Structure 1
């Protein structure tokens, strides 16, 4: 697990979803954060631009990820492919 990626994902969620008061980690369930689809797309765009990667179309929906850790695992694979 890449702690830096987890930290980046958490900070990006906090930035675009105004959830700075909530403690998050790899086990935080994304549905518990009540992120709407527009906020999630904004989070994805920030991740793509910062990490210089592109999400596959099948992974653009928040429903693909149960936890922050699931999103981190996907990002780790994408970083390895780059």
Structure 2
């Protein structure tokens, strides 16, 4: 699971203009704190789909539905990804 968290952090950092590092982000960090705008948010969703070979439900395609880093982790975990 730790590998999943680190991959998600990396994806978020790549799409954020906040200048945060992985050490600055934890599971409770909000999308607002990260500095994601709507385009960056969609880029994160697309990269998560590609990285984990999942399809994110349309219910999660708004920033209000994914308020924290934990929310991104839950999306991946709820898609029953094989983490091995």
Do the two structures share a fold, i.e. TM-score over 0.5?
yes
> Structure 1 residue 47 and structure 2 residue 55: aligned?
no
Cα RMSD of the aligned pairs, angstroms, is: 1.8
Deviations 1:3-57 (A, max 9, x none): 2211111100111213443410111111222311111111111111111111111
Task: Map 1:2-81 onto structure 2 (within 5 A).
Answer: 2-22=1-21, 23-78=24-79, 80=80
Moved over 6 A (4+): none
5+ long unaligned stretches in structure 1: none
- Structure 2 length-normalised TM: 0.81
Count of paired positions: 80
5+ long unaligned stretches in structure 2: none
The answer to which structure, 1 or 2, has the higher relative contact order (CA under 8 A, 6+ apart) is 1
1:66, CA displacement in angstroms?
A: 2.1
Q: 2: distance between equivalents of 1:20 and 1:34? A: 9
- Structure 1 length-normalised TM: 0.83
